[in-house]
Amino acid sequence: MQPELERTKKALEITMADLAVKREHAEKERNIVSKEQKEAKAQEVEANTLKQEAETELAKATPLLEEATRVLREIKREDLDFIKAIKNPPVNIVLVMEFCCHMFGHKPAKNMMGKTANDTNGYFEMARLKLLVNPNQFKEKMIDYDKDNQNEKTVRKVNSMLDDPNFSEQDIKSTSESLSSIIKWVKAMMKYHALLKIVNPKR
């Protein structure tokens, strides 16, 4: 009888020791799960905060974009036809057409350079060939511009032109309301791109 009791006692000790180990492992697992849940909750809160900040930043661009679209829609076809037909375009017209060519990635050919007055680099000729040839389509291309995927090189070039101390939006407006509308659109695209740089990392 005694050996049987000893065996039972040893078996019980083994079982108790095994249970103790399992309890210890279970406690560690619970601690790990609890920690992971807390971390996940913290990450969720942080993500929601960043999302809200991103939406708030991007909302700043909404009025600009809406205004740009409104003024573009108000451009009259006859204004663009008139610009296209000018034989000797003034400096401000050439400048705005250069902005447009950069925005749409149109680079003048060598035979376009200096073809008309004030158009040393050929941007007016390029605009007349690629953009002003279909005024309504040109307007729609500006309205539907892919503002979320703007080329960095283009953005740098356009911003450098806008920052030029000789650039005057008031001078552009005095030349033509339609040209002024185009410049408002260009500036809205640049502002939107700058905001995306802040927003995208938070997204």
Q: Which two tokens stand for residue 26?
A: 């279970």
Number of H helices, E strands in the chain: 9, 0
Give residue 121's pLDDT. 96
Nearest to 133 by CA among 68, 71, 77, 75: 77
Read off the pTM: 0.73
Under-70 pLDDT residues of the chain: 1-3, 5, 39-54, 57-58, 200-203
| pLDDT given for residue 72 in this prediction | 96
Please tell me the predicted confidence (pLDDT) of residue 84. 94
pLDDT in tens, 24-40: 888 888 778 777 777 66
pLDDT of residue 11: 74
Our CA angle for 126, 131, 132, nearest 5°, is 100
CA proximity to 179, closest of 62, 104, 90, 117: 90
d(CA 148, CA 184) in angstroms, rounded, equals: 18
Predicted local confidence at residue 123, as pLDDT? 97
